[in-house]
Amino acid sequence: MLLYWMEKLKRIKPVIVFHLVLNAIIVVFITGASYYHVPLEGLKDHAIYFLHLCALQSTVAGILYVLSLFKWTFRVVFSILFLSYCGFSFWAYSQDISITRSLIQGVMETKPDIAIDLITIPYFIFYLVAIAVLIFILNWHGRLNRRKGFRIFIVPAVALIIMFFVFERKQYGIFKFRLPYNVVVALDDYYEQPPFKLEQKIPPVHSGTDSLKVVFVLGETVRADHLGLNGYNRNTTPLLSQRKDIISYSNLFTSKTITATSLPQILTDQLLTDTIGSYTSLYSVVNDGGFKTTWIGNQTMEKSYLPIVETNRDIILVDKYKSVFSFDKELDGVMLKPIDSLLRLNDKQLITIHMIGSHWWYENRYEDRHRKFTPVIDSKYIPSLTKEQVINSYDNTVVYLDYFLNEIITRLEKERLPTFMIYVSDHGEILGEGGKWLHAQEDDALKNPGYILWFSESFRQWYPGKVTAIEQLKNSEITTDVIYPTLLDLLDLQVSEGK
């Protein structure tokens, strides 16, 4: 009897060895990334997480076994999955990114020109090694007698797959928020979003003014607590701080932590309407109020807010084929020129400026003369940088913002007619909090963006009540859903009831 089993084991051994090695490779290249950044202390912690990883990988092993039974299906499906997953796991390893709907949205809606800039040398090497490993697996699989031991293995393999659902039922999220399952969950979330529709017909709009020139600046990735104006211990806003008429909010909060979700919230009545999935664009109302609307953007537009931008009368995109991740992207300063010519054209207009702002890679977001804090970042690979370098570079982008907003105000000050500038950032940035960086994740550092207003003398004289109301609120805790009604009120526009 013993001999019989030994003989049997000998025959199925190659299949066992293949699957052990295959699973070890998957742990190294994919699954392990979800555990790599878990802060662990002591033997007990490590043991618990090791068992967790083994349990999760066992469920994956079941799937891999079933897949491996079919030669060509395995070749094609496994290759596609393995290489796609390596794309996610690299970022999970190197930056501890969270794979959520937000990230999938970023991947799906990012244009190829932007994606190219994400390829760093470590990323490239990681992929080369992954390809070599893939070829090794495929060769081995080709030589293997795949069906050997089928009757022994198939039942446990299916049982392992079922184990995933049993565990998930017992404790929701025990496996599904980790690699490889989180990608599937995130994809599902992404496609499940209710379709976003813009209201075409809006109630009559009443405008209380014939002359008002407004510059509305949509910032990018600027944290309120890194503004000198808000009491940050570094004077990142030397020019604006010298002005006595700046109103800066330190307690504006947002729940939207990426541009793609934040802009639709700021630029529509999303949070004020009862009709889910059908919103009114700010610009539709402003157009009906007789304003000329122009969008000047320094970012490649994303699917989520493109329809809103298109409700502007005019759209000017500077450097339109390069976006936030580009390395030789135009500075925001190039948008000052179109502002100059536009201001001369119309007495009643709203100009929106969409900045690239303080988006990573920070060093390409400001001029040398704004490099107030050093040493700065010198590598794209975040784990190789010090916290000080990252924050210095980030703060230099804020110094540039100070210059940029001051330039806009200087232009508006020359206007005879009432004018104002309103600046709001779409979200903040994680600067090392909890060992994390950048945005598109979940962290409080992302939820308190900068919000700055400036009113001209003539505006203050025409609308003293509006300015006082803005001043009184500046220390209150408010959320970004106030921006839409605030802007309409400052533009002296009333929308009839009964949407």
List interacting residues with Zn ion (CB under 5 A): 220, 259, 426
Q: H/E element holding 4?
A: helix 2-26
The Cα–Cα gap between 397 and 268 comes to 28
Please state the closest distance from residue 159 (CB atom) to Zn ion, in A.
45
Compare residues 402 and 426 and give the one whose CB is closer to Zn ion.
Answer: 426
Compare residues 91 and 140 and give the one whose CB is closer to Zn ion.
Answer: 91
Please state the closest distance from residue 352 (CB atom) to Zn ion, in A.
15
The tokens describing 453, both together, are: 């207003």
Please state the closest distance from residue 426 (CB atom) to Zn ion, in A.
4
Please state the closest distance from residue 93 (CB atom) to Zn ion, in A.
24
Contact assessment for residue 360 and residue 220, using Cβ atoms and an 8 Å cutoff: no
Compare residues 280 and 425 and give the one whose CB is closer to Zn ion.
Answer: 425
Determine the residue with CB nearest Zn ion.
259
The Cα–Cα gap between 277 and 196 comes to 5
Compare residues 107 and 138 and give the one whose CB is closer to Zn ion.
Answer: 107
Compare residues 247 and 438 and give the one whose CB is closer to Zn ion.
Answer: 438
Q: What is the separation, in whole angstroms, between the first and last Cα of the chain?
A: 82
Closest CA to 141 of 17, 281, 323: 17
The Cα–Cα gap between 281 and 304 comes to 13
Compare residues 59 and 268 and give the one whose CB is closer to Zn ion.
Answer: 268
Closest CA to 292 of 491, 103, 6: 491
Please state the closest distance from residue 83 (CB atom) to Zn ion, in A.
29
Phi, psi of 498, deg, nearest 5: 95, 40
The Cα–Cα gap between 114 and 322 comes to 6
Please state the closest distance from residue 396 (CB atom) to Zn ion, in A.
18
| Exposure string over 20-58, b if 16+ CB within 10 A, otherwise e | eebbebbbebbbbbbbebeeeeeeeeeeeeeebbeebbb
Compare residues 259 and 293 and give the one whose CB is closer to Zn ion.
Answer: 259
Please state the closest distance from residue 479 (CB atom) to Zn ion, in A.
17
Residues 6+ apart with CB under 8 A from 251: 224, 448, 475, 476, 477, 478
Compare residues 213 and 436 and give the one whose CB is closer to Zn ion.
Answer: 436
Phi, psi of 494, deg, nearest 5: -120, 130
Beta-carbon neighbour count of residue 133 at 10 Å?
Answer: 15
Please state the closest distance from residue 428 (CB atom) to Zn ion, in A.
9
Compare residues 220 and 395 and give the one whose CB is closer to Zn ion.
Answer: 220
Compare residues 260 and 343 and give the one whose CB is closer to Zn ion.
Answer: 260
Compare residues 269 and 426 and give the one whose CB is closer to Zn ion.
Answer: 426
Please state the closest distance from residue 222 (CB atom) to Zn ion, in A.
9
Please state the closest distance from residue 258 (CB atom) to Zn ion, in A.
6
Q: Residue 427: is it exposed, middle or buried by C-beta count within 10 angstroms (0-12/13-18/19+)?
A: buried
Residues 6+ apart with CB under 8 A from 65: 19, 153, 154, 157, 160
Please state the closest distance from residue 178 (CB atom) to Zn ion, in A.
26
The Cα–Cα gap between 30 and 103 comes to 17
The Cα–Cα gap between 162 and 175 comes to 13
The Cα–Cα gap between 15 and 153 comes to 10
Please state the closest distance from residue 201 (CB atom) to Zn ion, in A.
31
Counting Cα atoms < 13 Å in the Cβ hemisphere of 238 gives 8
Compare residues 178 and 223 and give the one whose CB is closer to Zn ion.
Answer: 223
Closest CA to 87 of 104, 109, 63, 73: 104
Instruction: Report the length, in residues, of the chain.
Output: 499
